């Protein structure tokens, strides 16, 4: 049913936002949409912004499908109710709150602290922008029952988000994730939200947590003497206007590196990210200024972190002296090899260590770990699942490191989320270690390929915005389920892993196997020649992602170029088979 061409339910929800409980500017903006912009009105109110299993992320603005203080307030009221219900009788409940450099992040964080404190819970609010991994660290340091970080990670400037953590420092997982969602959904009206914060329960935190965090991360260094030897290694680092601006240079200095070169115009925290189209270190354009600075200064390594400093992208020198970007799988493989090689050389491997990778991350992790007798656990996409494995194995097995293809990695168990701060320090240390063996980072990576096989990965992301976009992505996944490809790239599909149905289908034996992981809307096709193609709608962005992984054995470095060309052709053929080149 429609009124003036707009769904009546949308109009009813929008009209509610004209009530006195909402501030004047919000009321004016909603009225303007009703009078002049029905398309924007529908996008803002056609649904409630989904509080998913990790929190919320969306475009900022007025509306139930937007990020604003009212949506934040309702989410925080639900979270507060859940924390109090989970820890009955406790009078010392604590929630840590951090935020990044995005527009309105401080306002959203303060709103969260007010609602938390109004519900009788101590709110520990960082005094300025901080990296997401430091929020994870602070939860365990301060003995909090939960934590919130206001960030939209590497999304465009229009976005902000709200991520929830539990007392182990990891993002919430079952049963807490689903149960928190239920509590949030019970909040039907803004009138149910307690915005009247209690200043006595809001505590500012900052320098003391920084020092504890950096001190723990400093202990991850495996070769401090080599770092000192190559302390003047030229490193360009950029936070891309984000929260890594002080912490990354600080940890690099603590690791022993003294020649850190900045990109001054990107050292300014700014939610408009004025020097980039997107603050995403996965995209080459985001590193352009840093690479230019590296070329001017003769630097050997470029590192860039995203706004909340949990992901890191790097550029290294090619054999011809130009800079080349590594993808997340390549950087992760360097980290895994370095960690395991040095743990082994220093006699630290006792037989109960493990690493973790997500199901869409390169299988090269497994190959390296097997060589060192280290177990690999595979989990769904998301560091909350890596954190859950650490929690489950704590006291029984030793976590060395874990990562995913989307430029995230973490080492040690101080932090329970991906951490660009520690990753930057270790990447610099790997560069120094390689240099000590007369190798560059590229030499080291290529030696790994010769030893374990040349793995090549590729990602195709298809963006579909708005209500219609969600419907298109859903239809795409349904088509792949109901009409799966029989062959891809000239090779028969021999296995289908459906993580939503928790089943693997062997198309040769026609047997079915259970997948012992939480349900997730991911489909994976494995071909006879070992290619792996995964389809996964993003949980945080309006897109669907297709991951391609191929492998080829090479006997020596001379075979690299030919193998690379052959694998690129294979990936094109796989994409064509999925009809992604159309």
Of the residues 80, 105, 136, 153, only one is catalytic, namely 153
What is the rounded CA–CA span in Å between residue 571 and residue 568? 5
What is the rounded CA–CA span in Å between residue 226 and residue 221? 10
Look up tokens 């928190």; give the residue: 180
Residue 333 tokens, joined: 């493989």
Q: What is the pLDDT of residue 53?
A: 66
Q: Is the peptide bond before 492 cis (omega within 30 degrees of 0)?
A: no
Provide CATH code, domain 454-577.
3.30.310
Residue 458 tokens, joined: 């590729």
What is the rounded CA–CA span in Å between residue 116 and residue 94? 9
β-partners of residue 534 are 524, 547
Classify 420 as helix, strand or coil: helix
Which among 61, 242, 232 is positioned nearest to 159, based on CA atoms? 61
> What are the start-end ranges of the H helices in 130-206?
132-142, 176-186
Residues 158 and 59: beta-carbon distance below 8 Å: yes
Torsion over CA: 52, 54, 59, 63 (sign): positive
What is the rounded CA–CA span in Å between residue 227 and residue 220? 13
Q: What is the DSSP letter of 503?
A: E
Residues 408 and 424: beta-carbon distance below 8 Å: no
Q: Is 549 a catalytic residue?
A: no
Helix, strand, coil in percent for the chain, rounding step 5: 40, 25, 35
Residues 517 and 502: beta-carbon distance below 8 Å: yes
Side-chain-side CA neighbours of residue 242 (13 Å): 34
> What are the start-end ranges of the H helices in 143-194?
176-186
Q: How far is CA 547 from the centre of its chain?
A: 16
Q: 274: left (phi > 0), else alpha (psi -120 to 50), else beta?
A: alpha
Q: What is the pLDDT of residue 582?
A: 46
Domain boundaries, the chain: 1-34, 47-205, 223-452, 454-577
Residues 369-386: b if buried by 16+ CB within 10 A, e if exposed = beebebebbbbbbbbbbb
Q: What is the pLDDT of residue 1?
A: 47
- ∠410-414-420 over CA atoms, to 5°? 35
Quick one: 223-452 is in which CATH superfamily? Alpha-D-Glucose-1,6-Bisphosphate, subunit A, domain 3 (3.40.120.10)
What is the rounded CA–CA span in Å between residue 323 and residue 289? 12
Look up tokens 């198309």; give the residue: 507
Look up tokens 């990695």; give the residue: 409
Query: Kind of pairing, strands 260-262 and 235-238?
Result: parallel
Q: What is the pTM (predicted TM-score) of this model?
A: 0.94
Provide CATH code, domain 47-205.
3.40.120.10
Residue 470 tokens, joined: 């969600």
Q: What is the pLDDT of residue 467?
A: 76
Listed in order, strand segments (DSSP E) in 308-412 are 312-317, 323-325, 353-358, 375-379, 398-404, 408-411
Which among 448, 243, 195 is positioned nearest to 340, based on CA atoms? 448
Taking every pair of Cα atoms in the chain, the longest distance, rounded to a whole number of angstroms, is 74
Per-residue pLDDT of the chain (582 residues; tens, 9 = 90+): 455 567 889 999 999 999 999 999 999 999 999 999 999 999 999 999 887 767 899 999 999 999 999 999 999 999 999 999 999 989 999 999 999 999 999 999 999 999 999 999 999 999 999 999 999 999 999 999 999 999 999 889 999 999 999 999 999 998 998 899 899 889 989 999 999 999 999 999 999 999 999 999 999 999 999 999 999 999 999 999 999 999 999 999 999 999 999 999 999 999 999 999 999 999 999 999 999 999 999 999 999 999 999 999 999 999 999 999 999 999 999 999 999 999 999 999 999 999 999 999 999 999 999 999 999 999 998 899 999 999 999 999 999 999 999 999 999 999 999 999 999 999 999 999 999 999 999 999 999 999 999 999 999 999 888 778 888 999 999 999 999 999 999 999 999 999 999 999 999 999 999 999 999 999 999 999 999 999 999 876 778 999 999 999 999 999 999 999 999 999 999 999 998 864
What is the rounded CA–CA span in Å between residue 255 and residue 433? 13
Residues 305 and 244: beta-carbon distance below 8 Å: yes
What is the rounded CA–CA span in Å between residue 96 and residue 138? 7
Residues 137 and 415: beta-carbon distance below 8 Å: yes
Query: Kind of pairing, strands 491-498 and 523-527?
Result: antiparallel
Residue 115 tokens, joined: 């609602």
H/E element holding 238? strand 235-238
Residue 8 CB neighbour total at 10 angstroms: 11
What is the rounded CA–CA span in Å between residue 60 and residue 92? 33
Instruction: Decide whether 47-205 matches 223-452 in CATH topology.
Output: yes
Helices 24-36 and 38-45 pack at an angle, to 10 degrees, of: 120
Q: What is the DSSP letter of 49?
A: P
């Amino acid at each position: 049913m429609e009124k003036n061409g707009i769904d009546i339910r949308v109009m009813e929800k929008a009209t509610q936002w004209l009530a006195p409980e909402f501030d004047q500017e919000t009321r004016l903006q909603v009225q303007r949409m009703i009078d002049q912009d029905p398309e924007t009105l529908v996008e803002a109110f056609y649904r409630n912004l989904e509080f998913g299993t990790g929190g919320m992320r969306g475009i900022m603005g007025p509306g139930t499908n937007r990020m604003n203080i009212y949506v934040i307030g309702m989410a925080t009221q639900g979270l507060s109710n859940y924390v109090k219900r989970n820890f009955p009788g406790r009078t010392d409940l604590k929630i840590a709150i951090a935020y990044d450099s995005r527009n309105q992040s401080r306002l959203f964080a303060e709103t969260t602290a007010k609602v938390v404190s109004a519900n009788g819970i101590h709110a520990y609010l960082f005094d300025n922008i901080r990296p997401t991994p430091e929020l994870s660290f602070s939860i365990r340091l301060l003995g909090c029952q939960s934590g919130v970080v206001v960030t939209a990670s590497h999304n465009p400037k229009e976005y902000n988000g709200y991520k929830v953590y539990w007392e182990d420092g990891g993002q919430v997982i079952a049963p807490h994730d689903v149960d928190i969602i239920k509590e949030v959904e019970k909040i039907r009206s803004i009138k149910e939200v307690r915005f009247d914060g209690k200043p006595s329960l809001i505590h500012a935190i900052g320098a003391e947590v920084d020092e504890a965090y950096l001190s723990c991360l400093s202990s991850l260094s495996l070769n401090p003497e080599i770092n000192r030897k190559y302390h003047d290694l030229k490193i360009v680092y950029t936070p891309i206007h984000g929260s890594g601006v002080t912490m990354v240079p600080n940890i690099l200095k603590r690791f022993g590196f003294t020649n850190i070169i900045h990109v001054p115009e990107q050292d300014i925290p700014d939610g408009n990210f004025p020097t980039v189209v997107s603050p995403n270190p996965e995209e080459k354009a985001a590193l352009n200024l840093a690479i230019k600075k590296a070329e001017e200064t003769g630097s050997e390594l470029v590192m860039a972190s995203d706004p909340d400093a949990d992901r890191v992208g790097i550029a290294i020198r090619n054999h011809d002296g130009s800079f080349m970007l590594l993808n997340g799988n390549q950087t992760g493989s360097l980290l895994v090899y370095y960690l395991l090689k040095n743990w082994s050389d220093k006699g630290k491997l006792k037989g109960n260590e493990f690493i973790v990778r997500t199901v869409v991350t390169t299988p090269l992790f497994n190959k390296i770990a097997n060589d060192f007798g280290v177990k690999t656990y595979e989990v769904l996409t998301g560091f909350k699942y890596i954190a859950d494995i650490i929690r489950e194995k704590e006291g029984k097995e030793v976590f060395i490191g874990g990562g995913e293809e989307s430029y995230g990695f973490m080492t040690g168990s101080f932090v329970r989320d991906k951490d660009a701060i520690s990753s930057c320090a270790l990447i610099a240390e790997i560069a120094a270690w390689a240099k000590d063996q007369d190798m560059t980072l590229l030499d080291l990576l290529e030696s790994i390929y010769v030893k374990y096989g040349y793995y090549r990965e590729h990602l195709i992301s298809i963006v579909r915005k708005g209500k219609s976009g969600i419907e298109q992505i859903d239809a795409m996944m349904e088509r792949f389920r109901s009409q799966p490809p029989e062959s891809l790239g000239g090779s028969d599909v021999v296995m289908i892993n459906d993580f939503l149905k928790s089943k693997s289908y062997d198309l040769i034996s026609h047997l079915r196997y259970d997948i012992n992981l939480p349900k997730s809307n991911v489909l994976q096709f494995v071909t006879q020649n070992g290619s792996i193609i995964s389809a996964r709608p993003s949980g945080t962005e309006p897109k669907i992602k297709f991951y391609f992984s191929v492998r080829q054995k090479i006997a020596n470095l001379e075979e690299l170029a030919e193998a690379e060309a052959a694998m690129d052709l294979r990936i094109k053929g796989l994409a064509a088979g999925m009809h992604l080149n159309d």
